[in-house]
Structure 1
Amino acid sequence: MYPISAVYADYLKRHDREFKVKLQVGAVTYDDTSIVDFTIDNALSLTDGLAIGTTNLSELKIKLRTQDEIPSNAMMVPYLAMDTGGLAWNQAAYPWNQAAITWAGGGTEWLPLGEFYVDSRERVNDVWVYTCYDKLVYADVPYVSGLSYPATHKAVWDEICTRLGYTYDSSVQIRAGTITAAPTGYSCRQVLGFIAAANTACLFAGKDGVLRFKRFRGGTAPVIQMTSADYVRVRQTNPVKSYTRVVLTYDTEEGNAYESGSGDENHTLYVTIPFGTQAMADQIRVDLAGFSYTPISMESRGFPHFDQGDELQFERYEGKTWLDTQTPWAATETPWDGVMRYRSIILRQVMSFKGGLKLSIEAPSVSEQQSEFKVDGALTTAINALNKSVVKQGKLYYGASLSRETGLTIDRSDGKARAVLNADELTFYRGSDKALWFDVANNKYRFSGTLEAADGVFSGSLSAATGTFRGSLQAATGTFSGDLSAAGGTFRGNLSAAGGTFSGALQAASGSFSGQITASTIQGGTITGALVRTSATGARVELDAGGWRTFDGGGTKRIGITLDTSYGMSAINWYGESGGVSGAINGQDALFQILANAPMLIQSFRGIQFGGSVDFGGVSVYGLTPDKVVGLSQQLQALWDALNNKSDKGHVHSYTVPSHNHGNAANQNFSYSGSTGSA
C-alpha cells in the first residue's frame, strides 16, 4: 500500500469526496479540462490462480482532449488528490501537525498512480486514446550477461537493474544462491522473474516507478481493513485456498522438476525456475506454510493507494434468523452481530476514473472440482510421441535452435560464443562481435581475432590485425596491421608490419616498418632518420636529427647539443627549471665562447692554468688581492722600499701670507710669515 496522509485517508472514506486529477508528460501538465477518463490495470497474476515469479506489466489507458503532439514512448504519470475546498473547522478532526492543508483550501498531496510509457495511440474524433505500460516493458530484451559464472542471484539481479536503469526498494530481499551458467535464451524480465520466484515473490513496478517484491508468507497481517461501506458487492468464487505442495520445473523441454511437500492438485503450486534446485523448492514450501486466501471478486469504491499484492480483510453480513439457520449449534460460526470477516489478497485490480473513482478487485483460484484421473486420447498420445522426436523451431538442443529468420543458431550458455549458419550468413561470434565469417559481397573469409598455429605455409598474401606464431611461419608476402609475435621464422619476401614482438630470430633482406618495433637488444647496422630516446615521457635522453637533449622528470629540457644555424655555431646549452637558457658553450673559427645568464662559479681544487693571455674585457675584478697572485706581493714590497729610500728628509719650505682685511676697510690688515717641512 502506498503511504498517504491522514487527511487523504479520511477523505477517501467520505461519501461526498471529490477528486482532483492531473497528468504529467515531461514538462507539460494536463488537468481535468484535458483528461476525459483513464483506466489502470495492475496484476500479479493473469491466470486463474496464484502464481509466483510473475513480472506483469501495469497498463494505463487514458483519453486526452489535446492538440499537442506527445512524443513516442513519452513517460506519463497520472496523479490524484482529494479536494479539500469545502472543509469546515468542525470537520478537521486531525492532529495539528498532520493537517497539511493550505488556508486557501485546494487539495491534499498528489498521489502518483505509476510511471507509464506510451506504446500506442489512436485518435477517436477529437480525443486521443493512449495505451501505456510501466517501465518493466524495457526489460523485454535478451539477457546477455557480462558476469563470470557461477554468479550469485544478487549479482545477476544488480547487473540487469544497472543496465536498465532500474531502482528497487527494501522489499527486494534476495536470498543467497548461485547460478552455474548464464541464463541465455531469456529476456531480462524473465530472469528477474526467476529470481523473484526463488524468493517466493512476484515483481512489480510501484506507483513511484521503483521495483518492489510482493513476498508470500504465512502468518502476515492484512494491511487493509474494509467494511461493508467500502465496497459495493463481493462474491466468494471458491473455498479458501492454501498450498502444501510445490512443484519446481527446472527443465521445461523434458519436464524435469523438483517436488516438495504433499497434497492434491488443488493444494499444489507450480513454479518454473531454469536454475532451480531442490533446496529452492523446499524453501518456497516453507514460506507458503500457513498462507491462505479467500478467492473473491469485488466491486469497490476507489482506493488509489492500494497496490497489487496487498493482503486485505473485509466484512460481510451473513446473519440469519433462528428459523433460517439449518446448521447444528456447534458447527455454526456466524458471530452474534452476523458480520463475518474474511482474508484475501489483491491479485488483480482495475481502477477506473471518470469524474469519480471505482475499483475492481480479483483474487481468483482454480476450482477443485475436476477429474483426478487424466486419460490421454489417441490424438494427445500421438502429439506427445511426436514432441519427443521432432525438431522444433525455436527449441534449444544443446544450445542449437532453428528459426525461419536465422536458420541454425548455436549459443553457449555463458554468452561468450555464438554461431549463425544459413544461406546468407556463415558467422562465428565472440560475444556480440564477429570473429570468423564469410564476406558474401567480397567473396572472402574474414577473421577478426588472434590466429595461433603450430606451423603453417601461406602461399598467398597474409593479412592480420594481431597474431602469435609458436611454430615456423613462412610467407611469400605479408601485410600486418597489428602486432606480430613469432618464436622464429624466415621471411623470403617483403615484411610490412604496423607493430611486432619477436622473441626469436628475425631475418630479412629488407623490410619496411610503418608501426612500432619492440626489441630487447639491437646489434649492428645503421639507423638513419629515427628518434632515439630512453623514455616517451618524464626523465629521458633523446637523439634525433636536431641534436642530443636531456629532460628532467617534469619533461623540461635541461641540456642540449645542437647546431645554431643562425650564427654558424655548434653549441652546448644548459637550461634552468623554468626552461630558459642559463648558460652555453659555443664556438666557430674566429671565436669560442662561454656564456652565462646567471652568477658563475669557477673553482678547482687542483689549480687553474691559463695557457695564453687572458682578456677580461675591461671588467673590474673584485676580491683579487696581491697575496692571491704568486710573487706579486714580494714585487710590490720591493717597489715600496725603493721609493722610501728616495725621500728627502729635513727639507723646509718658507711661505708669506700677504696683508689683507677680508674685504672690509674697517678691519685691521693682517699678514703672516712661516715655514714648513717634512721629517
Structure 2
Amino acid sequence: LADLTGVTTYSTLEAYTYAELSKLTVEQISKLGEVLDDEKIPMGRFTCVKSKKSGGSVQLTMADRLYFSDKPYVPHIPMPNWNKAVEDDICRQLGLQNGNDYTEVRLLRDKNGRRLIDKNGKVLYSKYFYFKVSSVPKDVTMRQMLSYLASAQGQFGYVDRFGRYVRKWYGSSVKTLDNNTIDLPTLSERQNAIVGIICKVSDDVTLSLGVTDTTQGRVLEFENPYMTESLLQSLWRRIGGFSWYTTELYHRLGDPRFDIGDVVTYTNGADSYDIPITNLEFTFDGGLSADISAVGLSVEEQL
C-alpha cells in the first residue's frame, strides 16, 4: 500500500485499460501480458475457468488458483510432516508460489498494535509457528487443509496480486474515508468485539478462551484438528478484543490499492468507525469505484 515511487496516481490506470475484454482484438489480447508485467498497481493473476462465445464476442470467467482447491488433498510428501512442508505441497499441486516467509522474524504485538515487552523490558519477537501435522483428516480438501494451517496461526489465507498464496490478519487502518468520497454507508448500530474463541479440535476435545457468553460480544467459533493450548493462547493474545463495525459502503473514488484484509476508517464528524475489508468489488465504467463491506451478524442475529 505504500506509494514509494510517487508516480502511482489514479490517472495512470488509464494506461492499463484497453476496453471491455469482449471488444479486444487478438493482437490486443497478446499485448495485454506485456502491459500487466509493468503494472504499477498489480491487480492479480488469473486463470480462465470458463469461456462463452456469443455472436462476435467472448465472455471469459477468470479465477485465481484457489479455484481448484476444492478437491481432496492427497499428500505428495511423507506424513507426518511440518506445517510448512504441507503448505508447500498444496501450493505445488495448485501451481501456486508459497509467499509465506517462515524465516522472517516478527515482533509480537497485543490486540492494540503495541509491541509486547517482557518483565525485563525486552521486546518479544517470534518466527512463524512451526508445528507437526500428524495426519490428514479423511476427505479433507486442499482448501480446508490450508484453512487449518492458517487458523492455527491466527490468520486467513488467500492469493495475492502477484499470484502467491499468503496469510494475513487485519492490522491497523490504511486509509480514512469520509462523506466526500463515499455514499452514506450502512453501519451496524453497535460495534462488534471478539470476547472469546472456541475451537473444536475433535469430537472429544474443544478448547476455549475468553468469554463464551454471546450476550457479552462476538464469540469466534471454528474447527481445527491441529489446534493446541499454546497455539490458541498465542492466537487469543493477538485477536482478543478485536473490534469492527458491520458495514456496506460504496466508494465513489475506488482506490485500486485496497485489498481484502485491509482496514479502513470511516469518519463522520467526531465519530470514527474501523472497517475491515472482508468483501471488495471493483467496477470500471470509465471511472473506478468500489463496493466495500465488512461482514458480521448483529447481536440479535447472533443470539
TM-score bracket relative to the smaller structure: 0.7 to 0.9
> Displacement, 1:243?
0.9
State the distance in 2 between where 1:69 and 1:140 align. 35
State the distance in 2 between where 1:200 and 1:264 align. 21
Aligned match of 1:311: 263
State the distance in 2 between where 1:151 and 1:192 align. 14
Q: Deviations over 1:42-85 (max 9, x none)?
A: xxxxxxxxxxxxxxxxxxxxx422464999xx9x87978xxxxx
SS of the residue corresponding to residue 351 of structure 1 reads strand
Q: Deviations over 1:591-635 (max 9, x none)?
A: xxxxxxxxxxxxxxxxxxxxxxxxxxxxxxxxxxxxxxxxxxxxx
**Equivalent residue runs for 1:127-142 within 5 Å:** 127-142=57-72
Structure 1 residue runs without a partner (length 5+)? 23-30, 37-62, 81-107, 318-338, 373-679
State the distance in 1 between where 2:302 and 2:140 align. 35
> Displacement, 1:275?
2.7
Letter in 1 for 2:185: V
Aligned match of 1:248: 199
State the distance in 2 between where 1:67 and 1:227 align. 41
Letter in 2 for 1:64: S
State the distance in 1 between where 2:34 and 2:62 align. 11
Match of 1:366 among 266, 287, 297: 297
> Displacement, 1:110?
3.7
Aligned match of 2:14: 20
Aligned match of 1:191: 145
Q: Deviations over 1:428-476 (max 9, x none)?
A: xxxxxxxxxxxxxxxxxxxxxxxxxxxxxxxxxxxxxxxxxxxxxxxxx
Cα distance change on mapping 1:163 and 1:70 into 2, 3 Å: farther
> Displacement, 1:194?
0.9
Aligned match of 1:279: 230
Aligned match of 2:48: 118
Whether the 8 Å contact between 1:19 and 1:356 is mirrored in structure 2 is: no
Match of 1:164 among 72, 94, 108: 94
State the distance in 1 between where 2:59 and 2:74 align. 36
TM-score relative to the length of structure 1: 0.37
Of residues 339-348 and 199-208 in structure 1, the stretch that sits farther from structure 2 once superposed is 339-348
Letter in 1 for 2:289: K
TM-score relative to the length of structure 2: 0.78
Cα distance change on mapping 1:133 and 1:109 into 2, 3 Å: closer
Letter in 2 for 1:151: N
State the distance in 2 between where 1:181 and 1:168 align. 21
Bigger share in strand = 1
Whether the 8 Å contact between 2:246 and 2:297 is mirrored in structure 1 is: no
> Displacement, 1:267?
1.6
Whether the 8 Å contact between 1:308 and 1:348 is mirrored in structure 2 is: yes
**Equivalent residue runs for 1:491-502 within 5 Å:** none
Name which structure has the greater RCO, CA cutoff 8 Å, separation 6+: 2
Cα distance change on mapping 1:177 and 1:19 into 2, 3 Å: closer
Aligned match of 2:276: 345
Query: Is 1:64 paired with 2:5?
Result: no
**Equivalent residue runs for 1:500-515 within 5 Å:** none
> Displacement, 1:227?
3.6
Match of 1:230 among 177, 181, 184: 181
State the distance in 1 between where 2:12 and 2:85 align. 47
> Displacement, 1:361?
0.4
RMSD between superposed Cα atoms in Å: 3.2
Match of 2:84 among 151, 154, 171: 154
Bigger share in helix = 2
Aligned match of 2:288: 357
Question: What is the aligned length?
Answer: 274
Aligned match of 2:212: 263
State the distance in 2 between where 1:250 and 1:78 align. 48
Cα distance change on mapping 1:2 and 1:18 into 2, 3 Å: closer
**Equivalent residue runs for 1:6-17 within 5 Å:** 6-8=6-8, 11-12=9-10, 17=11
State the distance in 2 between where 1:77 and 1:230 align. 32
Cα distance change on mapping 1:371 and 1:287 into 2, 3 Å: closer
Aligned match of 2:156: 202
> Displacement, 1:199?
0.8
Letter in 2 for 1:204: Y
Letter in 1 for 2:23: R
Query: Is 1:239 paired with 2:190?
Result: yes
Letter in 1 for 2:14: K
State the distance in 1 between where 2:95 and 2:249 align. 36
Q: Deviations over 1:138-164 (max 9, x none)?
A: 333422224444322122112222343
Q: Deviations over 1:313-335 (max 9, x none)?
A: 22213xxxxxxxxxxxxxxxxxx
Whether the 8 Å contact between 1:77 and 1:114 is mirrored in structure 2 is: no
Whether the 8 Å contact between 1:245 and 1:261 is mirrored in structure 2 is: yes
Q: Deviations over 1:216-251 (max 9, x none)?
A: 4xxx43122334333233221342111121111233
> Displacement, 1:311?
1.3
**Equivalent residue runs for 1:535-614 within 5 Å:** none
State the distance in 1 between where 2:185 and 2:163 align. 31
State the distance in 1 between where 2:52 and 2:27 align. 12
SS of the residue corresponding to residue 304 of structure 1 reads coil
State the distance in 2 between where 1:157 and 1:348 align. 25
Cα distance change on mapping 1:307 and 1:78 into 2, 3 Å: farther
State the distance in 2 between where 1:113 and 1:271 align. 31
Letter in 1 for 2:148: F
> Displacement, 1:189?
2.2
State the distance in 1 between where 2:194 and 2:34 align. 37
State the distance in 1 between where 2:155 and 2:35 align. 28
Whether the 8 Å contact between 2:196 and 2:240 is mirrored in structure 1 is: no
SS of the residue corresponding to residue 14 of structure 2 reads strand
SS of the residue corresponding to residue 300 of structure 2 reads coil
Aligned match of 1:294: 245
State the distance in 1 between where 2:165 and 2:28 align. 26
Cα distance change on mapping 1:135 and 1:370 into 2, 3 Å: closer
Cα distance change on mapping 1:3 and 1:169 into 2, 3 Å: farther
> Displacement, 1:133?
0.5
State the distance in 2 between where 1:348 and 1:78 align. 29
Q: Which one has a bigger Cα radius of gyration?
A: 1
